[in-house]
Structure 1
């Protein structure tokens, strides 16, 4: 926050007339000499950023901009509930600490992400908790020149969970179903899907980096109908954050969960055992697989859908094998 008395000020004044709780007026005022009263809330407008060295005030400026827009209602939410400003201001910063400091993610092949227009990103899934999907979305945002957001398709369990479901919607996620996927792709969005589902994220440690079945190929038919490219994505490092060595099935059924994992540290160490191991991650974006030659009618041909589904799965598996062959150590990459 700067002390310059000529800084632009946003003044929010509650209507003091009867029933004034309903109405608010906002006015923009220049200069610091205007009279103020107790009914005025003032926030300095962040100064315009320059083109030189990084401004040490930038994080505070972004926060002030976010608060100002929340108070004035000057922000947008799309039909799926996605709030990009809230995502950038509140959701991504703590996740970025995990991304940069804990998992030390190295993103490879970001040049394969389209500059604009729709694309379907298909990735392997692992790690007991779906942290890999969030880190993949952050890799897209951090590496793309336009800071594009990845619109993730999630399981219904996510949206049934209090607080988490609301946060998921506001950060751009939606239910993993073809109608929503196709609407997003036709709108030119980058859409992420993890076809292994719970079979992948909850598989035992002994099956690490072995892709599970990709379901019926719903993602392939969505890409065919919309004509967008499919970008295979491999994530190395997530398999080891919670080495799953067991599953307490009765407890999982009681809690309505697909599994209740047992790791070397959880539940033995309680909450401390829920801290993920600080493995070194590599997220690789592979070469796009074109679907333009298929045509929308191919989405109704089970054999063509299966072939594309299998091609994408094999591409990701080979990317995983190549990346694992280069890895020296689980914690140093």
Structure 2
């Protein structure tokens, strides 16, 4: 009992110290708006409940994520609502020995949404543009990239775990230009959280969004329909791809697209392997 009380006393003292620093402005925010303390004490504890207890996330091969220095974590993207990006950030921070922060690259739509924009900046995300990415990599940060973009998040459930096109493969050019390793990463589980059964395009155009999702629970159940289904998640980090042999060919389309195809095929293969380990998405 005494140990439990001591633990609670320590938590209360930590919480009060955190609140005091926030009130007097004694905390740091970097040039991109990232607030590490707020992320550590507010965002991560909330997400951790989903990560551990709802999605029962398992992570494999964090040894492939470098302990220090820059790298591009390139992953598949899915799930109607981009929870996979948030779970990937937590996996990197909680499961890796160095507890590193993953700096996500987000589409401009994210930064046009009230509240979402502020939370995204505070939690470490930044606009997916070359100047910002170059600066992050120059600072030795881990940067998270989802080349499928909205094509991946908004694909029909019948297309689950089939990687969409990687667009112009800009992430490869960035990696080559900065001589940064690419870590292919596979995420299984997001596809079943909000199975996308349809897209109401007129509403999407009206709202200015890439799609308006129809899932088994949304919009039929109203706000309650936004609660994700408790699918089993698995995340695997692949072996880093060294980009230095092609670092002087960042502007060569053949090199860029060949390397992008290699990354895409690697992630697709990793997804198939993880799905074999997880035969039932709702099984413990």
TM-score band (shorter)? over 0.9
Structure 1 position 320, deviation (Å):
0.3
Moved more, 82-91 or 65-74: 65-74
Corresponding residue of 2:78: 126
**From 271, 276, 279, the counterpart of 1:328:** 279
Compared CA separation, residues 73 and 266, structure 1 to 2 (3 A) = closer
**From 179, 182, 197, the counterpart of 2:149:** 197
Instruction: Name structure 2 gaps, 5 residues minimum.
Output: 1-5
**Stretches (4+) displaced over 6 A:** none
**From 315, 318, 332, the counterpart of 2:266:** 315
Equivalence map 1:132-171=2 (5 Å): 132-171=84-123
**From 182, 199, 210, the counterpart of 2:162:** 210
Corresponding residue of 2:138: 186
**What SS does the aligned partner of 1:192 have?**
strand
Instruction: Name structure 1 gaps, 5 residues minimum.
Output: 1-53
**From 158, 175, 195, the counterpart of 2:127:** 175
Q: If the length of structure 1 is used for normalisation, what is the TM-score?
A: 0.81
Number of corresponding residues: 279
Corresponding residue of 2:198: 246
Structure of higher CA gyration radius: 1
Corresponding residue of 2:179: 227
Equivalence map 1:1-333=2 (5 Å): 55-295=7-247, 297-332=248-283
Distance (whole Å) between structure 1 residues aligned to residue 245 and residue 13 of structure 2: 47
The structure where helix makes up a greater share of residues is: 2
Distance (whole Å) between structure 1 residues aligned to residue 191 and residue 146 of structure 2: 14
Structure 1 position 153, deviation (Å):
0.2
**Residues 263-296 of structure 1: CA deviation (Å, up to 9, x unaligned):** 122111212222110001001111111112112x
Corresponding residue of 2:3: none
